[in-house]
């Protein structure tokens, strides 16, 4: 064994607590429950801003002037065009295909129809990020309609991103409250430092690969139940509970059987996720508007019950971003197995910002493993192996 091998630091499971790069895109203080995008507190942004403005902020590092925002919105609307070949491909997929897998395949396919897919210059990156922002929402809405036997709906240029998505999904003028709630959701999930999928995107970008490859990698990572798919499992859990009266008995059984409460706990936040409060407020507004309160009531009660439990207190387990995202998306009429692609529809902004940051100051990301296997084994011919 070489000296390098002997002096390697021990690996922390899951890279927990390890700093792997400098970044100026977002700041997370897990102990204080603070999230900032480019220096702006997420609660301030949720109260005053909207998704497209935040996309500009994350991509460019400053809030836009009125003229910059107008230009950005015009550019983003022009990016909603979907190559017809992608719609044909979506029609040919199995109707029961997993929407997140569809999204992953579609982004990979979109590269073939993007004139700048192999161009990694900053200008090409900006164009591709804009196109992916528009196209991802288009893929999601189109596949949702195709699998229900309906025709995809063309985007509208007069609507903001969230409202246009609801339009493409339903073919109906979007309800302003629903559009506002979705806009807030997209804003709140747009970026979150070095989470698993963002890290994946940066690893792919660090090899000099293209943006579509980086986003395809990120989508594969987001698909997992400990990351992006937790929101779907959180909703499945609320549906299983069924009514606020059942929360306590459900919780006792879950604890007795050692099941995790989905939408609780976080690798970085040791207090309530700062995105939970604005998401919860939107769930409540939607519940008041639709008259369907049960999912809001179940979530509120489950959070209260969990926060009183010593197991959750001792481990600093609190509501994370998924806990209230689940009932919010449900109240917007989004099918549960499409919740994770909705996450991607928002996070595409953060991923593309990180790929740009990685490319702007790149060094190949190539960590080490702490090898714990055997060494220098003797070769045995196949007939002598037992
Ligand atoms: C997010 C998550 C993966 C973080 O994981 P992590 O930082 O690796 O933490 P661990 O899995 O090591 O959990 C630490 C302890 O808390 C417990 N725990 C973590 N999340 C829990 C949950 N949601 N419900 C019950 N117990 C939980 C673990 O069992 C472990 O207990 P132990 O120390 O007695 O073994 C984890 O909290 C989780 O699985 N949450 C549910 C899924 C979810 O909502 N994911 C979305 C994240 S935004």
Kindly tell me if the per-residue pLDDT of 377 is higher than 70.
yes
To test the pocket of ligand 1, the residue of 193, 253, 265 to mutate (highest count of ligand atoms within 8 Å of its CB) is 265
Minimum mean pLDDT among 15-19, 121-125, 299-303, 326-330: which range?
Answer: 15-19
- Other beta carbons less than 10 A from residue 271's beta carbon: 16
Kindly tell me if the per-residue pLDDT of 141 is higher than 60.
yes
Distances (CA, A) of 290 to 146, 164, 186, 293, 301: 26, 21, 21, 8, 20
- For residue range 153-174, what is the model confidence (pLDDT) as tens digits? 999 999 999 999 999 999 999 9
Residue 386 has a pLDDT of: 83
Name all residues whose Cβ lies below 6 A of ligand 1: 14, 226, 230, 260-267, 315, 317, 320-322
Instruction: Say which residues have a Cβ less than 8 Å from residue 302's Cβ, sequence separation at least 6.
Output: 238, 241, 247, 250, 251, 261
Interval between CA 265 and ligand 1 midpoint (Å): 5
Residue 16 has a pLDDT of: 86
In the chain, CATH 1.10.230.10 covers 230-331
**Nearest residue by C-alpha to atom 10 in ligand 1:** 267
Instruction: Say which residues have a Cβ less than 8 Å from residue 221's Cβ, sequence separation at least 6.
Output: 196, 197, 199, 200, 227, 228
Residue 6 has a pLDDT of: 58
**Nearest residue by C-alpha to atom 22 in ligand 1:** 260
Residue 14 has a pLDDT of: 86
Residue 311 has a pLDDT of: 97
Closest CA to 46 of 54, 58, 38: 54
Kindly tell me if the per-residue pLDDT of 187 is higher than 80.
yes
Q: List the 34-37 sheet strands across, edge first.
A: 26-29, 34-37, 40-41
Quick one: which atom of ligand 1 is closest to the CA of 14? 8
Quote the percentage of the chain above a pLDDT of 70. 97
Interval between CA 282 and ligand 1 midpoint (Å): 26
Q: Which of 50, 161, 212, 266 is catalytic?
A: 266
Kindly tell me if the per-residue pLDDT of 51 is higher than 60.
yes
**Nearest residue by C-alpha to atom 15 in ligand 1:** 315
Residue 285 has a pLDDT of: 97
Distances (CA, A) of 61 to 55, 129, 137, 293, 356: 10, 15, 24, 39, 12
Query: Taking residues 338-364, what's their average pLDDT?
Result: 97
- For residue range 208-221, what is the model confidence (pLDDT) as tens digits? 999 999 999 999 99
Confidence of residue 11 (pLDDT cuts 50, 70, 90): low
Pick the CATH number of 26-224+336-360 from 2.40.30.10, 1.10.580.10, 3.40.50.620, 3.40.50.920: 1.10.580.10
Domain at 230-331: CATH code: 1.10.230.10
Q: 183 an active-site residue?
A: no
Kindly tell me if the per-residue pLDDT of 3 is higher than 60.
no
- For residue range 363-376, what is the model confidence (pLDDT) as tens digits? 999 999 999 999 99
Interval between CA 124 and ligand 1 midpoint (Å): 40
Average pLDDT score over the chain: 95
Kindly tell me if the per-residue pLDDT of 4 is higher than 60.
no
Query: Taking residues 24-52, what's their average pLDDT?
Result: 97
Query: Taking residues 30-59, what's their average pLDDT?
Result: 98
- How many CA atoms lie less than 13 Å away from 295 in the CB half-sphere? 28
* Angle between helices 339-360 and 230-241 in degrees, nearest 10: 160
Interval between CA 266 and ligand 1 midpoint (Å): 7
**Nearest residue by C-alpha to atom 31 in ligand 1:** 315
Q: Output the CA torsion sign for 151, 142, 99, 278.
A: negative
Residue 75 has a pLDDT of: 94
Q: 50 an active-site residue?
A: no
Residue 17 has a pLDDT of: 86
Closest CA to 339 of 52, 91, 144: 144
Kindly tell me if the per-residue pLDDT of 8 is higher than 80.
no
In the chain, CATH 1.10.580.10 covers 26-224+336-360
């Amino acid at each position: 064994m070489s000296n390098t091998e002997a002096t390697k630091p021990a690996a922390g499971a899951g890279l927990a607590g390890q700093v792997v790069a400098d970044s100026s895109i977002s700041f997370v203080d897990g102990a204080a429950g603070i999230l900032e995008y480019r220096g702006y507190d997420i609660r301030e942004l949720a109260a005053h801003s909207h998704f497209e403005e935040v996309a500009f902020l994350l991509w460019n590092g400053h809030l836009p002037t009125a003229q910059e925002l107008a230009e950005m919105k015009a550019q983003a609307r022009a990016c909603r065009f979907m190559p017809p070949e992608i719609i044909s491909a979506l029609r040919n997929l199995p109707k029961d295909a997993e929407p997140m897998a569809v999204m992953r395949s579609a982004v990979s396919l979109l590269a073939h129809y993007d004139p700048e897919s192999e161009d990694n210059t900053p200008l090409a990156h900006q164009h591709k990020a804009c196109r992916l922002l528009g196209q991802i929402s288009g893929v999601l809405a189109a596949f949702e309609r195709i699998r229900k036997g309906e025709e995809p709906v063309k985007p509208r240029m007069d609507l903001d991103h969230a409202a246009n998505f609801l339009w493409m999904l339903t073919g109906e003028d979007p309800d302003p409250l629903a559009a506002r709630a979705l806009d807030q959701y997209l804003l709140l999930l747009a970026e979150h430092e070095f989470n698993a999928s963002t890290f994946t995107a940066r690893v792919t970008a660090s090899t000099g690969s293209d943006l579509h490859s980086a986003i395809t990698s990120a989508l594969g990572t987001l698909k997992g139940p400990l990351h992006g798919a937790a929101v779907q499992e959180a909703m499945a859990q609320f549906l299983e509970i069924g009514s606020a009266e059942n929360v306590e008995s459900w919780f006792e059984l879950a604890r007795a059987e050692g099941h995790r409460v989905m939408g609780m706990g976080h690798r970085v936040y040791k207090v309530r996720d700062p995105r939970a409060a604005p998401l919860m407020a939107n769930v409540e507004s939607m519940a008041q508007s639709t008259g369907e309160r049960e999912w809001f009531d179940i979530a509120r009660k489950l959070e209260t019950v969990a926060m009183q439990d010593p197991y959750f207190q001792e481990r600093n387990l609190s509501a994370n971003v998924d806990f209230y995202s689940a009932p919010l998306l449900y109240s917007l009429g989004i099918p549960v197995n499409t919740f994770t692609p909705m996450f991607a529809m928002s996070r595409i902004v953060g991923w593309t910002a990180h790929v740009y940051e990685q490319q702007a100051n790149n060094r190949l990301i190539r960590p080490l493993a702490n090898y714990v296997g055997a060494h220098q084994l003797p070769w045995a011919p196949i007939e002598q192996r037992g």
